[in-house]
Chain A
């Protein structure tokens, strides 16, 4: 999952980004509201962590403009403003969740998972596609109870396809959702990752769970098993 962190505190941005990467997310960062708005508009993030007190364009304005532009990206407001009025105002403006600084990092990741799940219509941290089970909290995948040893990139790709099970997802969309903007991508990075995944699925007897739609993209089809 690809997360945008809009936070003017460099240190907080760095450590949250580091922690989210450890938790299996890819992250982009913006230090001010204008940059955050630009990135959020140009890219399709799975969630945005948005500080409210930002230089230039403040967080609520960014939130308002995103919603008015029709972007329904889940947004978690992360802010020092702690009054009930601030929380209510933020949620009424269109935020999906609100977390006050300082916060427990574990809570941040849990809330992120929750708002992303809601986006994809899931009500659990487990994504189940036939015999395939992905635990988004533990960042682990199993096939018929057998653990599949995945690299970070492989896990992120599989998780994204599983969250869009049945949909044909283009290569570009996959890249946008699992790689941050700083990643230097080789032209066939998605294809090679798909190949690696297929090998590992074969090893556990999963077969052709990931299918190619020539000229369109990839799709995860549990019925194919």
Chain B
């Protein structure tokens, strides 16, 4: 499932980590460059200094005049600085005491100065600069000295100055480790901070969700509070409140319509029935007139049944029901409904047999359950063949309860089963007899749906009609 909080948190953590990594890498690169540049500058300066002490005598001899005591870093005991000077012919002019009798490597260099890494004679990693120079002429300032022939041109000389760079490399490694460690630490800490900040930042969303959740269908007049909401949520709150307003208006309109429809439908039937009953009782000495009013009364009762069924169906179909969940004993409800149907069953000599446990407790809506059971059992009694038995069984497991009702029937076919829930469907297509409108099956389906229960019907051996309700215990 998509999560804004998760997306923001992950994005921020990745971004911060990337920024840190890039910054650390850049810093490391910069420091490396600076330190290496320092080393190179030092090497070059050293090479220039050493080249400056390489002088050509007036007689053409090249002398390398470096005082070892003034340059202790070239001593063998140090082994950190090295130099070596060659003639362009390749002959050696001078080497640092630290080299002893070893040579510094020379590369095939065409441009000078040439800086490069090298492996020092002792195997350590080093850095060297190779410089091509011409030694200075040493001039003799003696007015009495005889004039000599001009000295030969000084030869080109090459000097290589080298230093170990392991300490530099170690420094760089330390810097890299610190930067890496710092990056990881800051990234981890940052991730935690980001998580906490985002969690805190999204708290208004959770509060808003809780407030919305608290608005129940029964109390649609409640509105979300606008004060104190962050600016980003205000438009959502306003839109939700506007939507609640529309829903409340629609539901109130629906309620009014249902109340008005009920009133408009029920009142004339009540007038008809009352008229019929009162005048029937007033004409006990006139059987024909009394019979006529009795017929009017029966018609009114039939109309009443139809109106009640239609209003109930409309109520079930206008949206998710509001169930009043209670812990109820299903066996008690079944027994009470059976008792209320005894009279109707006796009129058809139909026997209702119960196979129930002592108690079966479910968490459900008692009114809806009773309506379902009543509809199923009264349908079973009404449609049973005269003198037959209606069997009602209740089975229970840990999760479900199954209510099975079986009755004997005539004329029903397997194809008819798919129509039983259709409004106004009746087997008798002429609709010429009986008190049924064909709404019982529709109502039963509506109740089962409201109860989140599975309802099914079955025809066994063409004469046993079975209804099955699987109801969750919770």
Contacts and interface: CB of A to CB of B under 8 A. Distances in A.
A15 B262 contact: no
Given A53-B259, A81-B259, A82-B311, A15 B275 contact: yes
A80 B262 CA distance: 6
A22 B278 contact: yes
B367 interface: yes
A81 B262 contact: yes
Contact of B304 (A11, A18, A83, A102): A102
Interface residues of A, number: 21
A129 to B, nearest CB: 29
Interface in A74-98: 80-84
A101 interface: yes
Contacts of B271: 9, 11-12, 15
Given A80-B262, A81-B259, A84-B367, A101 B278 contact: no
B270 A102 contact: yes
A66 B5 CA distance: 58
Contact of B274 (A19, A82, A100): A19
A82 B262 contact: yes
Nearest to A100: B266
Interface string A25-64: 0000000000000000000000000000100000000000
Contacts of A12: 267, 270-271, 274
Interface in B254-280: 259, 262-263, 265-267, 269-275, 277-278
B267 A105 contact: no
Nearest to A82: B262
A103 B270 contact: yes
A70 B278 CA distance: 34
A22 B283 CA distance: 12
B313 interface: no
Interface string A165-196: 00000000000000000000000000000000
Interface in B214-251: none
Contacts of A16: 274, 278
Contact of B270 (A81, A83, A101): A101
Contact of A105 (B263, B265, B277, B367): B277
Contacts of A80: 259, 262-263, 265-267, 270
B63 to A, nearest CB: 120
Nearest to B308: A82
A102 B311 CA distance: 13
A106 interface: yes
B266 A101 contact: yes
Interface string A94-118: 0000001111111000000000000
B381 interface: no
Contacts of A11: 271, 275
B264 to A, nearest CB: 8
B278 A18 contact: yes
A102 B263 CA distance: 10
B278 A102 contact: no
B281 interface: yes
Contacts of B274: 12, 15-16, 19, 102-103, 105
B275 A9 contact: no
A105 B263 CA distance: 18
A164 B321 CA distance: 49
Contacts of B304: 102
B16 to A, nearest CB: 57
A103 B282 contact: no
A90 B458 CA distance: 43
B300 interface: yes
Nearest to B273: A102
B309 to A, nearest CB: 12
A143 B317 CA distance: 59
B323 to A, nearest CB: 12
Interface in B288-328: 300-301, 304, 308, 311, 315
Contacts of A100: 266
A53 B263 contact: yes
Interface string B343-370: 0000000000000000000000001000
A83 B314 CA distance: 13
Interface centre among A82, A83, A102, A105 (most CB of B within 10 A): A102
Given A53-B259, A80-B262, A103-B273, A9 B267 contact: yes
Nearest to A103: B270
B117 to A, nearest CB: 91
A22 B282 contact: yes
Nearest to A16: B274
Given A53-B259, A81-B259, A102-B304, A19 B278 contact: yes
A19 B262 contact: no
A101 B304 CA distance: 9
Contacts of B265: 80
A15 B274 CA distance: 6
Nearest to B218: A85
Nearest to B322: A85
Nearest to B274: A15
Nearest to B366: A84
Contacts of A105: 273-274, 277-278, 281
B25 to A, nearest CB: 70
B229 to A, nearest CB: 33
A76 B278 CA distance: 19
Contact of A101 (B267, B277, B282, B367): B267
A19 B283 CA distance: 12
Contacts of B273: 102-105
Nearest to B303: A102
A87 to B, nearest CB: 11
A11 B262 CA distance: 18
Given A11-B271, A82-B311, A84-B367, A19 B266 contact: no
Interface of A: 9, 11-12, 15-16, 18-19, 22, 53, 80-84, 100-106
16 contacts: A12-B270, A12-B271, A12-B274, A19-B274, A19-B277, A22-B281, A81-B263, A84-B367, A102-B272, A102-B274, A102-B300, A103-B270, A103-B273, A103-B274, A105-B277, A106-B277
Across the A-B interface, give the 3 residue pairs with the lowest CB-CB distance, nearest first.
A101-B270, A19-B278, A80-B266
Given A81-B259, A101-B269, 9 more contacts: A12-B267, A18-B278, A53-B259, A80-B270, A102-B272, A102-B273, A105-B273, A105-B274, A106-B277
